Amino acid sequence: MPIKRIITKAKVPVKIYTDDVDPQAMTQLVNIAQLPFIHSHVAAMPDVHVGIGATVGAVIPTKGAIIPAAVGVDIGCGMNAVRLSLKAGQLPDNLKPVRAAIEAAVPVGFAMHTDKPGVPASTVRALDGGLDRIVGKHPGILKMQKHVERIWAQQLGTLGGGNHFIELCLDENQDVWVMLHSGSRGIGNIIGRYFIDLARKDMGKHLANLPDRDLAYLQEGAEHFDDYVAAVSWAQDYAMTNRREMMRLILEALGRQLPPFTLTREAINCHHNYVAVERHFEETVFVTRKGAIRAGEGELGIIPGSMGAKSYIVRGKGEPQSFCSCSHGAGRRLSRGKAKKTFAPQDLIAQTAGVECRKDAGVLDEIPGAYKDIDEVMAHQADLVEVVHTLKQVVCVKG
């Protein structure tokens, strides 16, 4: 479907690809569109919902400034998926040992690899130099978490918690896929929070002129702008590496549980919380995608549903009005707290029928009923992407 709503009450328009927009999210979108450095317009994807400062599901093009809170604290969070040479009929009838093998290989929640990194030393060295340069100029980052100098390496190849997951899925041809969702772990969170705070301090008395203090920004040419660009770039590389290393560990674990297999599609590895330099509407701009993926013409991407719903491998159509973007998932309908109050474990059991996964109160905030209908979200972005594969999970690992 084309753009459903255009809001014109701010400096630039807000173009929205759905009618399902929470009033608070609408206020956040208008607040962003009031900022003086927004280029052309703000685009809101079909999964749009309330975030911290900036709306999740927003694509924000800026000239000469970046909003650290719009990029967020899980810098580089995104998806990775590979297709295996296996068919559904080659999977064991009991998938619980498969889930256990994945959970044993990849630490989840607050857990991490103990004693030493769970990835090759060369991978750690490749990232280490960039981090040293960042904390050399901003040693305060190291004070935000105990033992961060070793923890960041031990968290490489780990899942985290919240809405992050690892899944074994089947597509419409009964081919087996591995799909995962994670980001830059604790070190990305620290870098994000540090520069969000620094942006507020740098704005000083001008912070009061913003519609929301979480929209504090760093201007190009200012003291800390280049440092943030370097730090966010490093965190995005870390997140990409984290997903790649997790996938390696998962495939090794599956190799001990399943019949021999090969990879039949090159891995799709895409960010959905990040900033990049791109050209749109005859200008070179910083594009912040907060809960959105790039969907340039012909580009492959991943749009997951909830832990009981379908997910999609998509090919972008390069739609200019969305800044070549599409949604990053279904989008939350209920906050985590509201989901826990609304649903009980028996609801989770019913909504994840047929999926080998946790079904306890500890993951109740991730119940499918807390999310928008992924089919509706996909219908609203038919102008943005075409569906290449439809996936349904049979195993889901959560933190």
Burial class of 156 by CB neighbour count within 10 A (0 to 12, 13 to 18, 19+):
buried
What pLDDT was estimated at residue 166?
98
Torsion of CA 155, 159, 161, 166, to 10 degrees: 180
Asked whether residue 107 is marked as a ligand-binding residue, the answer is: no
In the annotation, is 280 catalytic? no
Amino acid at 57: G
Half-sphere exposure (Cβ direction) of 40: Cα atoms closer than 13 Å: 19
Asked whether residue 209 is marked as a ligand-binding residue, the answer is: no
Rounded CA-CA distance 12/303 in Å is: 28
Phi, psi of 179 (to 5 degrees): -135, 140
Asked whether residue 307 is marked as a ligand-binding residue, the answer is: yes
Query: pLDDT tens per residue, the chain (399 residues)?
Result: 689 999 999 999 999 999 999 999 999 999 999 999 999 999 999 999 999 889 999 999 999 999 999 999 999 999 999 999 999 999 999 999 999 999 999 999 999 998 666 678 888 888 988 999 999 999 999 999 889 888 999 999 999 999 999 999 999 999 999 999 999 999 999 999 999 999 999 999 999 999 999 999 999 999 999 999 999 999 999 999 999 999 999 999 999 999 999 998 778 999 999 999 999 999 999 999 999 999 999 999 999 999 999 999 999 999 999 999 999 999 999 999 999 999 999 999 999 999 999 999 999 999 999 999 999 999 999 999 999 999 999 999 998
CA distances from 265 to 90, 175, 326 (A): 18, 11, 22
Using the structure block, give the residue that is written with the tokens 């999740």: 56
What pLDDT was estimated at residue 121?
82
Give the pair of three-digit tokens for residue 39: 């280029």
**Which spans in 64-117 are helix H?**
68-71, 96-105
Asked whether residue 335 is marked as a ligand-binding residue, the answer is: no
Query: Taking the alpha carbons of 374, 375, 377, 378 in that order, is the dihedral positive or negative?
Result: positive
Rounded CA-CA distance 256/105 in Å is: 11
Amino acid at 133: R
What pLDDT was estimated at residue 332?
93
Question: 167 with 82: CB under 8 angstroms?
Answer: no
Cβ-count burial 203-242 (b if 16+ within 10 Å, e if not): beeeeeebbeebbbbbeeebebbebbbebbbbbbbbbbbb
Which of the residues 49, 271, 328, 380 is marked catalytic?
A: 328
Amino acid at 255: G
Asked whether residue 165 is marked as a ligand-binding residue, the answer is: yes
Question: 347 with 65: CB under 8 angstroms?
Answer: no
- 386: how many CB neighbours lie within 10 A of its CB? 13
Amino acid at 94: N
What pLDDT was estimated at residue 123?
84
What pLDDT was estimated at residue 118?
66
Residues in the chain, overall count? 399
Asked whether residue 166 is marked as a ligand-binding residue, the answer is: yes
The residue among 199, 222, 225 whose CA lies nearest residue 212 is: 199
Asked whether residue 147 is marked as a ligand-binding residue, the answer is: no
Amino acid at 216: A
**Right CATH number for 5-333+371-398 from 3.10.20.90, 2.102.10.10, 2.30.110.10, 3.90.1860.10?**
3.90.1860.10
Half-sphere exposure (Cβ direction) of 59: Cα atoms closer than 13 Å: 31
Bridge partners of 390?
A: 312
Rounded CA-CA distance 78/194 in Å is: 21
Asked whether residue 1 is marked as a ligand-binding residue, the answer is: no
Asked whether residue 316 is marked as a ligand-binding residue, the answer is: no
Rounded CA-CA distance 368/347 in Å is: 9
DSSP letter string, 32-53: HHTSTTB-S-EEEEEEEE--SS
Phi, psi of 131 (to 5 degrees): -65, -40
Task: Provide the residue ranges of all domains of the chain, joining segments of one domain with +.
Answer: 5-333+371-398
Rounded CA-CA distance 399/396 in Å is: 10
